[in-house]
Structure 1
Amino acid sequence: MNQVVNSAPAAAGRAVVALQQGAAPLPSQYLTFMLGEEQFAVGILGIKEIIEYGSLAGVPMMPDCVRGVINLRGAVVPVMDLSARFGRAASPITKRSCIVIVEVQEAEGEGQQVLGMLVDAVNAVVDIAAADIEPAPAFGTRIRPDFIAGIGKVNGKFVSLLAIERVLSSGEIVELARQNLAGRN
């Protein structure tokens, strides 16, 4: 996994892709996890911890993708079901279900937000070289293209690298909650 590769041209290309998409350059280490049969990954820099799934307190009138909140050492942390966020059925809770606690940058420099992501199973932290990352496809994915920062190749398989700030955008979740409330009235 720790290969020495001259990846300067590829890294430069990757940085250009990231800048064109309005994002920061991609990290090199990723936490991989499963949602159903698909493997996804997020950069490890924003991950605070991984915890076993426990009981959640429900929050009335929230969108279906918000499962509830947990008490994390005295802090209230919202937990989002990534499967539901991607427009799929809610994730079933199994022995391997985990909550990945992440810290994301709020829009327009409003600070940091700590959120939990419910995933079906956590796999491993992997190194993905810049040369093994391709730009996100504009079509053909089962989730919104703006949620994908790129496609990485890990052990001969493709993994979708998530743009976690877009996936967990609190502004968008608030808008979904408003729509949810309006739909019930």
Structure 2
Amino acid sequence: MGQGTASENGGGRAGKYLSFALGPEEYAIRVLQVREIVKLQHITSVPDTPPDVRGVINLRGKVIPVIDLRVKFGMSDAEDGQRTCIVVVEVAASQNGPMGIIVDEVSEVLTLAETDIQDTPDFGSGVETPFLLGLAKVKDSVKILLDIDQVLISSDLASFNAAVSASEALTN
């Protein structure tokens, strides 16, 4: 049985999604969790953070942690392009407020009906996919729907949040 049924994810999956590219793949997250989209800017590295944590940005006086989804998903490195941007999202697990995710390109806002979304296929034993809400059929392509809360939850998040809090204390 596949992961990511509506009942497992606390209700229906229909709604508006922001779609974006990471390499050749298209992903989407719920629009309601998107706070804003900003162009790629200087990211300050924070020592002793997980490899997928690119660092922090100063967004109108607020320190925002930034995660590189390519690294998080084990994808190959790519040069940041003209369309590379940071999507600032609200994450339930973050005690310090919003977080940024680096994406190659923001595509569009999609309105998806429940009938457009299929459950994630069963990839076999030992393959966990709690971060996938499902797969959406859009025109001739498939968008991978992400539960951004699950994507960004990790055991490393607590130590990173502590580092961000410390850096915020220094700037105040």
TM-score (norm 2): 0.81
CA distance in 2, matches of 1:173, 1:89: 21
Report the counterpart of residue 72 of structure 1 in structure 2. 59
Q: 1:14-29 residue pairs with structure 2 within 5 A?
A: 17-19=5-7, 21-29=8-16
Q: How many correspondences in the alignment?
A: 155
CA distance in 1, matches of 2:5, 2:130: 13
1:83 aligned to 2:76?
no
1:32 aligned to 2:5?
no
| More helix by percentage | 1
Q: One-letter code of the match for 2:92?
A: Q
CA distance in 2, matches of 1:163, 1:75: 24
Cα 1:114–1:121 change in 2 (3 A) is: same
2:146 to 162, 165, 179: 162
1:174 to 153, 157, 167: 157
State, as a whole percentage, how many aligned pairs show the same letter: 37
- 5+ residue gaps in structure 1? 1-15, 178-185
Q: How much has 1:24 moved relative to structure 2?
A: 4.2
Contact between 1:27 and 1:43, CA under 8 Å: does it hold in 2? no
CA distance in 2, matches of 1:88, 1:158: 18
- For the aligned residue pairs, the C-alpha RMSD in angstroms reads 2.3
- 5+ residue gaps in structure 2? 161-172
**CA deviation string 1:74-96 (max 9, x = no partner):** 11100000111112234421111
TM-score (norm 1): 0.76
Greater RCO (CA < 8 Å, at least 6 residues apart): 2
